[in-house]
Amino acid sequence: MNQYATIEKAIKFIHSKSEQNPSLEDIAKFVNLSPFHFQRVFTEWAGISPKKFLQHIHFNKAKLLLQDKTMTLLDASVDIGLSGTGRLHELFVKMEGMTPGEYKNGGQNLTINTSYRDSLFGKVLIASTHKGICSIQFTEDKIAALSNLQDDFPHAKFVNSSDIYQDLALKQLINPNSNLSEIKLHIKGTGFQMKVWEALLKIPMGKMYTYGSLASSIQMSTASRAVGSAIARNPIAFLIPCHRVIQSSGNIGEYRWNSDRKTAILAWEAVQSINNLD
């Protein structure tokens, strides 16, 4: 996991050069590793070799971008091959909004535990209350991430400590294919934001929606811009999968925690979903 920066750089290169079919040597040279060492590191992270990963990207990129961007929730629910993981994901992530008082008072009387941990997709600052996870941020800057969290909860008490909520969430961030346990979220958001975040939970792994298709899924087809704003405010990286929403053009688009990381996560999920069909 501490090799994530190298993996992210490699995947960005693979995507940008996919039509040219870069060799193992080309990719390894780009990330300043020997071919042997790069092959080992990459295979440990992705579960497949760089060559096979490139094949997945090359042959499935068009399918994922063209087919999935128009897929509705109903289509996903009857897609036997890939919808199972999504249904499980929706069931194992339980989301609870903060009370109006907690929302208005900036976390007054709340104690928030925080810890800085490694994950499959880089380092994360993870935070939790007595009810569940309230924030997960991918970041290489712990101080800045903690400052952002304190801005969201200016009156809360912060403690450097981990707990069972964090451990369960981190299990999915370290090994997203591990057995699912219920993860509880305790998050701050408006009613509209909560509705959008709930819709994100229904997007199966390996699938991608556009902002427009996500808006349609909550019967607000003319609210793509508002949906995009709610997605940008998602406080829970990866577990609420805002990374699965892309632009209608097929471009990956922006990501609160770095668009290159979004590319890496989507590529990893695509490969895992395809492998699960084998």
The mean of the pLDDT values for the chain is: 82
Answer whether 267's CB lies under 8 Å from 12's CB: no
* Residue 57 reports pLDDT greater than 80: no
* Residue 4 reports pLDDT greater than 50: yes
What is the reported pLDDT for 150? Answer: 94
Number of H helices and E strands in the chain, helices first, is 13, 8
| pTM attached to this predicted model | 0.81
Q: Which residues are catalytic?
A: 242
What is the reported pLDDT for 123? Answer: 95
Angstrom CA distances, 235 to 21, 92, 173, 188, 262, stand at: 37, 18, 15, 8, 15
Among 18, 5, 7, smallest CA distance to 40 is for 7
Right CATH for 4-60 from 3.40.50.10280, 3.40.109.10, 3.40.1010.10, 1.10.10.60:
1.10.10.60
* Residue 159 reports pLDDT greater than 90: yes
What is the reported pLDDT for 20? Answer: 80
Helix H or strand E segment including 14:
helix 4-16
Question: Architecture of 66-277 per CATH?
Answer: Orthogonal Bundle (1.10)
* 59-85 residue pLDDT tens: 555 454 444 444 443 443 334 233 344
What is the reported pLDDT for 58? Answer: 59
What is the reported pLDDT for 79? Answer: 40
Domain layout of the chain by residue ranges:
4-60, 66-277
* 221-253 residue pLDDT tens: 888 899 999 999 999 999 999 999 988 777 788
